[in-house]
Amino acid sequence: MQQAEIRTTEATKATNATEAVDWNENEIADLSAKVAALKASMSKVIIGQSEVIESLIICLLGGGHALVEGVPGLGKTLLVKSLAQATDMQFRRVQFTPDLMPSDIVGTEILEEDAATGKRLFRFQPGPVFTQVLLADEINRAPPKTQSALLEAMQERSVTFAGQTHMLPRPFFVLATQNPIEQAGTYPLPEAQLDRFLLRIDVGYPSEDEEMAMVSRTTHAGLADATPAMDVASLLRLQLLVRDIEIGEHLLRHATRLVRATRPQESKVASVVKHVGWGAGPRAGQALVLAAKARALMHGRLAVTRDDIDAMLLPVLAHRVLRNFEAEADGVAIADILLALRSDIRLD
């Protein structure tokens, strides 16, 4: 914890010192090269899953959190651990279980006695949330009270305990996993918490060749750790650079129309009117534009294109748009609804 705090403090000072300086071509080129190196470093450890790695980096550059869904054994833990190693950030994992308490995540107060004076004082003992990369494994297995303990941390980057606010390290990135095939005894995340995740990332099965390579490598010498490709100061600068990526007014309006079209009360998209119970709120528009900017930078561009918005539509909105009973009965997936929406809403 102390090492992570020192790293973060130094990175924050470096960021604040250069925040007012105009971007120059050399710095942008250097930062872009580090993004490419980050993806390459993770790809050496994670076999296949190129789109998942890219989505995870986009989420990190955007300064948001990710909700990852996939069956066990697909390397979700290794994925986030490799990200922490490649960015030189502190990593902690919390296994969410039905008996997990909020204090097990945010921390608690302990009673200490001063050896010199004999006085007893309460001291706050930080929990595992005080890290830079937090893996909330199977988050839907914990009860709502424990899930909500992450709300303030994810939104405000701080924890309030006993009337005192404790700031979390910068950057702070939560990756929460869910198992889509085991729902018995779970507690579905409320919409308020789902909206705190910038992206929902689906991890699928690898191809035959990728799976064979995975089995071969892990049953021999094993997988090596990801090599550092980016420091914390560079990551914080990249998160600032993402905010400065250009987006035209016509694309901004297009992103806004896409989000508004998910609301059945005002949508003209037939699939939305028929199959959506509740559409996305304004925060979804913010997330869509921010994710599109991060994707543009990921691909070496300083301006957003329609391809960026279209590519990020599903991971941004999939957990923010709720299907109705008719959609569930008809077996209509949220991806089908969003793809229909994307094809119907045209760019002016």
CATH number at residue 275: 1.10.8.80
Same domain for 40 and 86: yes
pLDDT tens string for the chain (348 positions)? 334 343 444 444 444 444 444 788 889 999 999 999 999 999 888 888 889 999 999 999 999 999 998 887 777 888 888 999 999 999 999 999 999 998 999 988 888 877 778 788 888 889 999 999 999 998 988 888 888 888 778 888 988 887 888 899 999 999 998 877 766 668 888 887 889 999 999 988 888 888 888 888 777 766 677 888 999 999 999 999 999 999 999 999 999 999 999 999 989 999 999 999 999 999 999 999 999 999 999 999 999 999 999 999 999 999 999 999 999 999 999 999 999 999 998 876
Q: Please report the pLDDT score of residue 223 as a whole number.
A: 65
Residue 183 phi/psi, 5-degree rounding, is -110, -10
- 93 and 8 housed in the same domain: yes
The CA-based dihedral angle spanning residues 203, 205, 208, 214, taken in that order and rounded to the nearest 10 degrees: 60
Q: pTM of whole model > 0.75? A: yes
Domain count, the chain: 2
Residue 22, domain CATH: 3.40.50.300
Of 244, 263, 287, which residue sits at a domain end?
244
Q: Which domain holds residue 251?
A: 245-348
Q: Does 214 lie in the same domain as 92?
A: yes
Q: What is the DSSP string of 80-101?
A: HHHHHHHTT--EEEEE--TT--
CA distances from 322 to 203, 279, 309 (A): 21, 7, 20
**300 lies in the same domain as 240:** no
Tell me the two tokens of residue 205. Answer: 């099965």
181 and 257 share one domain: no
CA distance 322 to 278: 5
- Cα 205 to Cα 42, 208, 269, 308: the distances in Å are 18, 9, 32, 25
